[in-house]
Amino acid sequence: MTGKNNPTIDTQSGVATLINVFEVEPAKQAELARLLSEATDELFRHQPGFVSVSIHSSLDGTRVVNYAQWKSKEDIDRVLKNPEAQSRARQAATIAKNVSPAIYRVDSVHAG
């Protein structure tokens, strides 16, 4: 999906990045990726501070990574307190075997 903000990995952007790694059974990978994409379209992209979400599925079928960029850590904190966002997170957690979220900053970028 596209929007007015495009994902950019840049040390100067100032965005806060929430990276959430979900471990899944291969048979549930597509279901989880679809659920995260739907949640983004229906809820997250309409929240203050949203920049972008990129959903990645590992080629071995065992992981889904949600790479979410927000204008600030405060925007992430606010959305994590949203009851509907919490409900969506619980729904995703029921599909996954393990969930590992963390907030990151970009320290360096190397391109060819």
Residue 48 and residue 20: Cα distance in Å, rounded? 20
Condensed to tens digits (0 to 9), the pLDDT of residues 23-59 reads 999 999 999 999 999 999 999 999 999 999 999 999 9
Q: 45 - beta bridge partners? A: none
Condensed to tens digits (0 to 9), the pLDDT of residues 50-72 reads 999 999 999 999 999 999 999 99
Beta-carbon contacts of 19 under 8 Å, excluding residues fewer than 6 positions away, are: 65, 66, 67, 68, 101, 102, 103, 104
Q: Which residue has the tokens 């291969």?
A: 26
Q: What is the pTM of this model?
A: 0.90
